[in-house]
Structure 1
Amino acid sequence: MKDIILPVQHSLPAGKFVLAVRLSRLFRANIHLVGLMNDSENESGDEFFLKACQLFQNSTNLEVKCMLVKGSNLARATMEYGLMIKSGLILVCNARKSMAQVVAYLLLTRPVSAVRRIPLMIVPVEQLHIE
């Protein structure tokens, strides 16, 4: 596993953050944060996303790549980005709408062989507050 993807929208659950860091160190994998960029915003427009990126970069010595992509569906953007970079894992939260969207998108729009290419790990929702 070379790459771990974390979709980031309006919160960063502590469980997802901690697990991503541990898995990244264990497998020497890069962490990719994926967020949505509204059509009206430029790449620096999403302040929360940038704070999440800074948190990873300032509190770890890991390779962290931050990618804002255009679109309205974080699940679709995450899957497409994951397939593009041939990701080894996508981490999502268990009680978030985005997780349900990822699963639905995977099951309804992709052949089973494509779904199996990127494992999906669901972690508990515990919010890590970023200010």
Structure 2
Amino acid sequence: MRYFSITKFSDAILLITRIMLMLLFVIFGYEKLIGFSGTINYMASTGSPFPTLSAIVAVVLEFFVGIAIILGFYTRPLALIMAVYTLITALIGHNFWTMTGAAHYANEINFYKNVAIMGGLFLLALTGPGKYSLDRK
């Protein structure tokens, strides 16, 4: 049996993948940027060290690095950085193991969504951005 091959569409699929992976980060990074004082307050409420610095890091990584990855600019190293950032945010923001009831359940789901996003980011770091990117050589 002959399998359907999508390799002829791989560059377009990589572009769509970059957009889909980063859309979440860009949207929430933008919200953090325009509501920066609220972002600082949220960082303080999660116990993040140095809430202002944490808020700046969140905005830069989510919004600006998210846009860079969508454009395919330094995709491989930035995808690795975003994977580490996603792990850190999962550990700080979705520590379901300290919770019970509905909060436990909701945070466990979000923790493992972060794990899935990390998988996509690692795969993007491995494959690269494809030809529809600024990294294209």
- Give the TM-score, by structure 1 length: 0.28
- Structure of higher CA gyration radius: 2
More helix by share: 2
More strand by share: 1
Higher relative contact order (CA 8 A, sep 6+): 1
- Give the TM-score, by structure 2 length: 0.27
